């Protein structure tokens, strides 16, 4: 196994799938000769040519809309949106079209497309290179939403997503694109969509997170260890479809929950998880479910570090839940 970062793991998954299946094609801004603004598509244009790696005009609606058409015809396009903050011109195509074509055609048509896009803060990118807007998309029946947190999962989940027959929004945590390294199996390797991972088992309290907040939770868990608090960290990996069983099993074990996410708190996907636990597992709860999230403000430039939840903020919530 090679030690890779997330950028390299994504790149390896794309190489692998393009070699395996000639129906896999890529399209996006600056993904050609430049290899993407973060380098995720490096070497692919050179290897597979401009027919399979389309360095497109600057138009997100065009990128996603044409990818839908390609998918309808039987290709497996993997469009890239340069930053999740730029996805909105394509919102109509994603929400009204990709997500609904199977349903509205009685299953006649399908859109096996994976939209890859970096999301989240951590690069001093201000409003428009930092947002986590997964909640809009999780609120869209027909669309799957996947968020890896490790290099291995990035590869395994991306390959599964490309092979999946439904449209998938694949959110890449840019904060840990290069900062986080891990072992990644070579060659054929998949991770099933819809299955959470117990990133760290524990018995006192459950932290539920995804993407770039998983390492933050692991850091908090590590700091708690010294104080004899045994924290469990659940990495959801897929937000839609959600691994309800894994969440409930953890709650049943610990009876205490903190949901951690980077997006603005109100209406964020953590609210859905909190509601689900309240509906189905309230008898196990020893304390209220807490959410540690971004503030209900636009994502700031200068105050980025104040905005993004860190281990200390998570521990503050852990303390409140433990002492309830």
Partner 1 sequence: MQQPIVQYLDANSKMHGDANKVGLAQKDHRTIFTLMLKVRLFEERCMKLQRQGRIGFYIGAYGQEASHIASAYAFRKQDWIFPSYRELGVMLLRGISMQEIVNQIYGNSEDHTQGAQMPCHHSFRKANFVSISSPIATQIPQAVGMAMAAKYKGDKVIAGVYLGDGGTSEGDFHVAMNFAGVYQAPVVFIVENNQWAISCPAHEQTASDGFAIKAKAYGFEGLRVDGNDVLAVYEATKRAVEKARQGKGPTLIENVTYRLFSHSSSDDASRYQNKQEYEQALKCEPLIRYRNYLQEQGIWNEAWEKEISEDFKKEVDVAIKTAEKQPRPDPSTLFTHVYATSNPLLEEQQRLLQEELKERESWEEEGAFPL
Q: Is the dihedral of CA 184, 187, 193, 198 positive or negative?
A: negative
Q: Which region, judged by CB under 8 A, interacts with partner 1, from 111-119, 208-216, 234-242, 313-321?
A: 313-321
**Residue 229-258 contact track with partner 1, rule CB under 8 A, x = bound:** x-----------------------------
Q: Which residue among 66, 86, 95, 198 contacts partner 1 (CB under 8 A)? A: 86
Within positions 149 to 208, which residues make up the interface with partner 1, using CB under 8 A? none
Does 322 contact partner 1 by CB under 8 A?
yes
CA distances from 111 to 11, 18, 67, 97 (A): 23, 18, 9, 9
> From CA 156, how far away is CA 133, in angstroms rounded?
23
Q: Which region, judged by CB under 8 A, interacts with partner 1, from 32-40, 141-149, 174-182, 240-248?
A: 32-40
**Residue 119-148 contact track with partner 1, rule CB under 8 A, x = bound:** -----xxxxxx-------------------
Q: Is there a catalytic annotation at residue 323?
A: no
Q: Which residues of 104-135 are buried (b: 16+ CB within 10 A; e: fewer)?
A: eeeeeebbbbbbbbbbbbbeebbeebbbbbbb
Q: Where are the beta strands (DSSP E) in 56-174?
A: 76-80, 114-119, 144-146, 168-173
> From CA 294, how far away is CA 13, in angstroms rounded?
31
Structure tokens at 257: 């929950």
Residue 289 and residue 257 in contact, taking contact as beta carbons nearer than 8 Å: yes
Q: Which is nearer to partner 1, 88 or 136 (CB)?
A: 88
**Interface residues toward partner 1, by CB under 8 A:** 29-30, 32-35, 37, 55-62, 85-86, 88-89, 124-129, 223-224, 226-227, 229, 265-266, 295-298, 300-303, 306-307, 312-313, 315-316, 318-319, 322
Q: Which residues are catalytic?
A: 129
């Amino acid at each position: 196994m090679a030690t890779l970062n997330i950028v390299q793991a994504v790149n390896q998954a794309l190489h692998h799938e393009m070699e395996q299946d000639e129906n896999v094609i890529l399209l996006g801004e600056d993904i050609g000769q430049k290899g993407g603004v973060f380098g995720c598509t490096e070497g692919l244009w050179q290897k597979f040519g401009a027919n399979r790696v389309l360095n497109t005009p600057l138009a997100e609606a065009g990128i996603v809309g044409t990818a839908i058409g390609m998918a309808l015809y039987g290709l497996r396009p993997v469009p890239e949106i340069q930053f999740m903050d730029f996805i909105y011109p394509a919102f109509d195509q994603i929400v009204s079209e990709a997500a609904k074509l199977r349903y509205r055609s009685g299953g006649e048509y399908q859109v096996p497309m994976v939209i890859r896009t970096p999301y989240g803060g951590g690069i001093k990118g201000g409003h428009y290179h930092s947002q986590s807007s997964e909640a809009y998309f999780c609120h869209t029946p027909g669309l799957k939403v996947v968020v890896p947190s490790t290099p291995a999962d990035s590869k395994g989940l991306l390959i599964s997503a490309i092979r999946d027959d439904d449209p998938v929004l694949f959110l890449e945590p840019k904060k840990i694109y290069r900062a986080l390294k891990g072992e990644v199996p070579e060659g054929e390797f998949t991770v099933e969509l819809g299955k959470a991972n117990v990133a760290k088992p524990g018995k006192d309290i459950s932290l539920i997170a995804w993407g770039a907040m998983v390492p933050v939770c692991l850091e908090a868990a590590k700091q708690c260890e010294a104080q004899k608090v045994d924290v469990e960290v659940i990495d959801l990996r897929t937000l839609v479809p959600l691994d309800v069983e894994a969440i409930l099993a953890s709650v049943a074990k610990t009876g205490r929950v903190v949901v951690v996410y980077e997006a603005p708190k109100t209406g964020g996907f953590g609210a859905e998880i909190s509601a689900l636990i309240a509906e189905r597992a309230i008898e196990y709860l020893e304390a209220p479910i807490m959410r540690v999230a971004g503030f209900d403000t636009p994502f700031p430039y200068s105050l980025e570090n104040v905005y993004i939840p860190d281990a200390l903020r998570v521990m503050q919530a852990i303390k409140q839940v433990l002492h309830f």
